[in-house]
């Protein structure tokens, strides 16, 4: 479980965290001590990410999150109410996001909700 969390953490926080975790592996410590140190490093990285999201630059995150949320909400409402076979059929549709943004939107959503799930999982494992 810790190994999976560490792999996810290194993907989430980038190569710097991966290099730190790799250097811990190369130390001459026993396995339990290595896993404890890795867990502390990943938890500290998660804490720093939380501080960054809640810090003074959080409005910058809103520049990406709010338009994506409005688009996603409009797609859901359209799909439930206004599509061709729905309760209030309409001739218009919601446009898809352009090619690079459609992939980025999934990454943005995953980074927001996946990060929260990751932190909650690490807290549950640590108890």
Counting as low any pLDDT under 50, the low residues of the chain are 1-2, 10
Stated length of the chain: 127
- Cα(45)–Cα(26) distance, integer angstroms: 20
Provide the angle, in degrees to the nearest 10, between the axes of the packed helices 58-77 and 99-109. 110
pLDDT at 9: 52
Tell me if 83 sits within 8 A of 47, measured CB to CB.
no
pLDDT at 56: 74
């Amino acid at each position: 479980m810790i190994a999976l969390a560490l792999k996810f953490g290194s993907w989430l926080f980038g190569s710097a965290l991966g290099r730190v975790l790799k250097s811990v592996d190369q130390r001459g410590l026993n396995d339990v001590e290595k896993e404890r140190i890795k867990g502390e490093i990943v938890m500290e990285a998660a804490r720093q990410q939380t501080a960054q999201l809640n810090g003074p630059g959080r409005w910058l995150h809103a520049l990406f999150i709010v338009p994506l949320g409005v688009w996603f909400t409009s797609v859901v409402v359209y799909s439930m109410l206004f599509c061709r076979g729905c309760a209030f059929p309409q001739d218009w549709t919601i446009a898809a996001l352009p090619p690079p943004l459609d992939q980025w939107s999934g990454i943005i959503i995953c980074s927001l909700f996946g990060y929260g799930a990751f932190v909650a999982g690490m807290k549950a494992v640590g108890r």
